[in-house]
Every structure is written in C-alpha cells, then in structure tokens.
Structure 1
Amino acid sequence: MAKLKYLVIHCTATPEGREVSSADIQHWHCAPKPKGNGWKQVGYTDMFHLDGKRERLVNNNEDAEVDLWEVTNGAKGYNSVSRHIVYVGGCDKNLEPKDTRTEAQKKAMEEYVKDFHRKHPSVRIIGHRQLNASKSCPSFSVPRWLQQIGIKQ
C-alpha cells in the first residue's frame, strides 16, 4: 500500500470518432505478447467514452492509498502511487496526436476531475506526458485545462 500521489490522464491513442470497448483495452494491455502488452492488469481505472459515459475498468476503494489490488499499468515507475484515467481518442485519422475529446467527454472528465480534486486536494493531476516526455498522451495540455476548469495545483 502506498500514498496516492498522482491522477494521470491518458488517451487511448485511437482515431477521432472511433469508439473503444473495455474488451479492446483488456486485449491490448493483457493479451500475451506480441498481440498485447502481456500485463497482469489494464492501465486505467476509468474510461470516458465518446458519449461521455464513464466506465469503471478496475475497482478501487476511492481512498488516498493505492492498495496492491488497485494498481493499474498506466505509467511505468509510477503505478504504485497513481490512479489512471483515459478518454477514448487522442489521434487524428493519420494517428497523429490531437485533442479529440467530444463535448460530452470534456464535461464528464471535468466533473470527475473536480470531484476527485475535492476528495484528494494534495494529489497532483497530470497528463501522461508529464511523467514521460517521449509520450504525446493525452494529446492536450492538462495544466492549461486544469486552469480553464478552475483547478489550481
């Protein structure tokens, strides 16, 4: 068990407008290599679909600790102290990084992040690329977005 330090925002790195299912995530992350990553657990706790619906992918107890059974594989080296969420999209039709969040996704993510921040004000909310500069994920500036929605860290 470790203290929760980060809420990391990700994108699925899929083309704009293409829906992704929890089964897709399960396959991509947990299928044996070379078809998947061969992980024991998916990378995200919650996924925001194109219509704004939030789907729980991995249960957690919503406290400020990361128990072993709650660990997801979202960012190597940070998983034991992080919760990871993902929105469907993040790329244009050529798979180049692009903020493809629908209005429904933006609204649902804002509600989730504000509620999370109220419950855990000391937890830093960041984008995946803030932990790994070689990543484009989540294809938008999380610090700028947090300012726009009124969250100061």
Structure 2
Amino acid sequence: MAKLQYLVIHCTATPEGREVTAADIKAWHTNPTSRGGRGWKQVGYTDLFHLDGTVERLVQNNEDANVDPWEITNGATGYNGISRHIVYAGGVGRDGKTPKDTRTPGQMKALEEYVKDFHNRFPSVKIIGHNQIAAKACPSFDVQKWLKSIGINK
C-alpha cells in the first residue's frame, strides 16, 4: 500500500465520436500480445468517461488516500502504485491518429464534477495529464490550463 500522489487523466486514443466499452479496454490491456492485447494483469484505468458523460468504474476502489495492491492499474510506467488513472473515450481526430481534444459536453461536465470532487477529498494529490509524465499527446488537452479554467489551481 502506498500513499496516493497523482490523479492521471488519459484518453483512449480512439477516433472522435467512437464509443469505447469496458470490454474494449479489458481486451486491449489484458489479452495476450498474440491476440492483440498488451498482456497486462489489470486494465490501465479506474474509471471510464463515456461519450454521453456516464462514468463507468473499471477497477474497484475504496476511495481512500492510499493505493492498495488490488487498486493498482497500469496507466503509466513508474506511477501505477501511487496514482489513480482515469480515461475519456476519444482523444484523436476522425482520421484515427491526429491528437485532438474530442471531449463531448457530457464528458466535460462529468470530468469536471469528478475532478472537483476528487480534489475536495484529496487536495494534496497532483492532478496531471498523461503527457506530463510520458512522451505522449494523451489526453490531447492541456490539463493544467483546464484545471485553472474550472477553478482548481494546482
């Protein structure tokens, strides 16, 4: 068990307007590499933000300030044991490769509510985008600028 230090925001890197299911994420992350997956023991995210703004829990979490072994997700190498990882469906343009902030109004509202609630409960936890700890475009928007726009100055 480790102290929770980061909330990391991700995108699924799927084309704008394409819904993603929990089964999709499970297959991408846990299927063997021979079947197109990554062969991980656990998915990469605790919560998935669907296009309509519905939030689906992918990995159970006891909502305390620690990361228990059973809560660890595979969102970012070197950060998994001290972070919670969340993801929104989308993050690339319709071409399937150009990074783009594709958050729908429903996703934006749900993400704002989630992050504000999370910040109120865990004010010392740093809220970051995946691109702040890895050489990736994910989550395809500037998390720090967005945090300021919703009243969180981290």
Distance in 1 of aligned mates of 2:142 and 2:60: 27
Structure 2: which 5+ runs fail to align? none
Matched, 1:78 2:86: no
Which position in structure 2 is the counterpart of 1:31? Answer: 31
Distance in 1 of aligned mates of 2:108 and 2:61: 23
Percent sequence identity over aligned pairs: 68
Q: Deviations over 1:24-72 (max 9, x none)?
A: 0000000001410000000000000000000000001000000000000
RMSD across aligned positions (CA): 0.5
- 1:2-151 maps to which residues of 2 (within 5 A)? 2-34=2-34, 35-94=36-95, 95-132=97-134, 134-151=135-152
Distance in 2 of aligned mates of 1:60 and 1:104: 23
Distance in 1 of aligned mates of 2:130 and 2:105: 21
Structure 1: which 5+ runs fail to align? none
Counterpart code for 1:33: T
Distance in 2 of aligned mates of 1:148 and 1:12: 23
Q: Give the TM-score, by structure 2 length.
A: 0.98
Deviation for aligned residue 1:93: 1.4
Counterpart code for 2:22: S
Distance in 2 of aligned mates of 1:24 and 1:76: 21
Counterpart code for 2:115: V
Counterpart code for 1:2: A
Deviation for aligned residue 1:139: 0.1
